[in-house]
Structure 1
């Protein structure tokens, strides 16, 4: 670096030092008046009960602030902070209206040796709307888990309802009053207190409202449980001409709740008795469970659905070999040859036909009208014994040879 550059740098440093010294002199020795704008100084609303008494509510209730133009000595102005001021807006001092209200503010506390130089109106804009009241039923959104074989018997909330007051727009946003939180591994009766939240239809919390209670108690009563099979009880049989091919239950087992002493006595749960004689087609019905005293079902349902597959049975035929009885032949004649058995054809459902044997059929050929010898063909008379659910559709004929006695 040459000498000319050194001289230039020295001159610049001297200028800076002289400027700083001059500023220090003016600030500390001369201490001239200075103006300064302090922004966003909080404003406190007082006598807010007058707003409520006028049936209004503050919309959204923001943090109200004002900007102040201050004047004072340099030493004092640089020390000023927002916390040095207390500024209020007295809500009881003015007539209030729905909508925007211009409320003047009062400076209650101000630092000494500082003057406020604001010109014109110094105040805040307060938006008011109609004050409304509405009741809500409190609901629990608390996530509850239980230890194994422990089940919820009942949940209760106290108080059950809550009254909310606030601006109309805020109150109308509320969809539910809820309790939120979590209870883990419950194994005994439990009671906990939760804060009440007010949420809109999207689950967002609604502010700027008041309620007559901040909290509610959630009480959880527990019980023991046990899985047991369901036993369908029936009486009678499906009507003639129908077949029960089977049935299905909506649940083959069920979780019952109660104290251990009662649960230990139960191995299955019976249903009410279903009369099968009323079933004439495939059908589904609600069947009540016969729950012993002190026993309930986990889901609260005391019925199950039973689906019966009932179909109409088709008729068919069956041939049975039967013995033939020959009667009333004139004593002057004798049977030289005859059929000892014939086929009798029956018509009915397979179920009923399976019940019939030759023991249920009498086959008789009456020969009282035979007056001469020779060979003849006859159809015997067949009758059914102890059944009226099948019919005789055909009887085979017989060949007989009759001869005169010598």
Structure 2
């Protein structure tokens, strides 16, 4: 670095030092007046009870603030903080209306040696709406878990209702009043006080409302229990021409509650007998459970739904070998066969055919037309006796040997 550059740097440093000395002299010795705008100073609302008396509420109440234009010595202005000011707005001093209201504010205290330049035109805008009430039934959303084989018998809330008060827009949003909290591994009767929360239809908490109570007492009563299968009982048969193609139960297992000694002996729960003859295709019926004395259901009203699937029974066939009787043979002839047998083919539903045997058939061969000896094939006549929904579809031939007597 040459001598000319060194000289320039020294001159710059001297100028900076002289500027700082001059600023310190002006600030501390001369202490000139200075203006400054302080933003966001909190405003305290007083006599808010007068709003309730006038049936008003503040819409979406948020902190209120004002901006102040200040003037004072530099040394004082530099020390000013928001906390040095107390500013209030008296809610009882003015005629109010639904909608936007401009409420003048009063500056109750502020730092000495400071002048407020905009003191005469300060105010806050307060939005008011109708004050309303609504009564809600309290429900429990307390998360409760129980120890093994311990089940909830009932829950009770006291008091059962709560009254909320607030602006119409906030009160109208509230759809539920719920108890919130959590209880783990409950094994005996329990009660406690839980906070009440107010929520909208989306499950969001609603603010800016007041309630006559903040908590409610939840009482939980427990009992012993176990899960057992359901055994469906039936009586009668499905209507003629249909077969049962299965059924479905709304619950294959139920939780039963009661004394532990009785529960230990209980392996299943029977239903009342369903009359199968009254069923229609795809019938769904309510079936009561036959509960032993002292036993109750923990997850229902003591009944289940049973859906039966019926389908039309298709015709099938069945062959029966029957003895054949003959008649009207001339006295000059005789039959030499030791026995006559015919195979009779029947048609009908499987259920009907299962009830038919050879005893339900009369097979007769009419030999009135026999005029000579020989062996002949004849088709006998088969007649059903005491048989429903069954018909004879085919009768097998019989070979008969005829001879003249003596």
1:403 alignment counterpart: 405
Query: Does 2:308 match 1:307?
Result: yes
- 1:70-110, CA deviations, whole angstroms, 9 ceiling, x for partnerless residues? 33333333322211211111111111111221211111122
2:212 alignment counterpart: 212
Q: Specify every segment of 5 or more residues in structure 1 that has no aligned partner in the other structure, as ranges.
A: none
The structure-2 alpha-carbon separation of the partners of 1:353 and 1:22, relative to structure 1 and needing over 3 Å to count, comes to: closer
Partner SS, residue 292 of structure 1: coil
> What is the distance in 2 between the residues matched to 1:280 and 1:25?
108
1:343 alignment counterpart: 342
Query: Does 2:236 match 1:233?
Result: no
2:356 and 2:387 in contact (8 A); partners too:
no
CA-CA distance at 1:270 after TM superposition: 0.6
State how 1:115-194 maps to structure 2 within 5 Å: 115-118=115-118, 120-194=120-194
CA-CA distance at 1:272 after TM superposition: 0.9
> What is the distance in 1 between the residues matched to 2:404 and 2:281?
56
1:88 and 1:105 in contact (8 A); partners too:
yes
The structure-2 alpha-carbon separation of the partners of 1:337 and 1:27, relative to structure 1 and needing over 3 Å to count, comes to: closer
- Aligned residue pair count: 399
CA-CA distance at 1:379 after TM superposition: 9.2
88-97 or 15-24, which moves further after superposition? 15-24
The structure-2 alpha-carbon separation of the partners of 1:252 and 1:174, relative to structure 1 and needing over 3 Å to count, comes to: closer
The structure-2 alpha-carbon separation of the partners of 1:248 and 1:24, relative to structure 1 and needing over 3 Å to count, comes to: closer
Across the aligned residues of Structure 1 and Structure 2, the Cα RMSD in angstroms comes to 3.9
The structure-2 alpha-carbon separation of the partners of 1:327 and 1:80, relative to structure 1 and needing over 3 Å to count, comes to: same
Partner SS, residue 206 of structure 2: coil
> What is the distance in 1 between the residues matched to 2:158 and 2:337?
98
- 1:5-41, CA deviations, whole angstroms, 9 ceiling, x for partnerless residues? 4444444444443443344344334444443332221
Partner SS, residue 170 of structure 1: helix
Q: Specify every segment of 5 or more residues in structure 2 that has no aligned partner in the other structure, as ranges.
A: none
TM-score (norm 1): 0.80
> What is the distance in 1 between the residues matched to 2:167 and 2:29?
57
TM-score (norm 2): 0.80
- 1:306-325, CA deviations, whole angstroms, 9 ceiling, x for partnerless residues? 42445336264534332648
1:322 alignment counterpart: 323
1:286 and 1:306 in contact (8 A); partners too:
no
> What is the distance in 1 between the residues matched to 2:6 and 2:321?
142
1:101 alignment counterpart: 101
> What is the distance in 2 between the residues matched to 1:111 and 1:260?
77
Partner SS, residue 51 of structure 2: helix
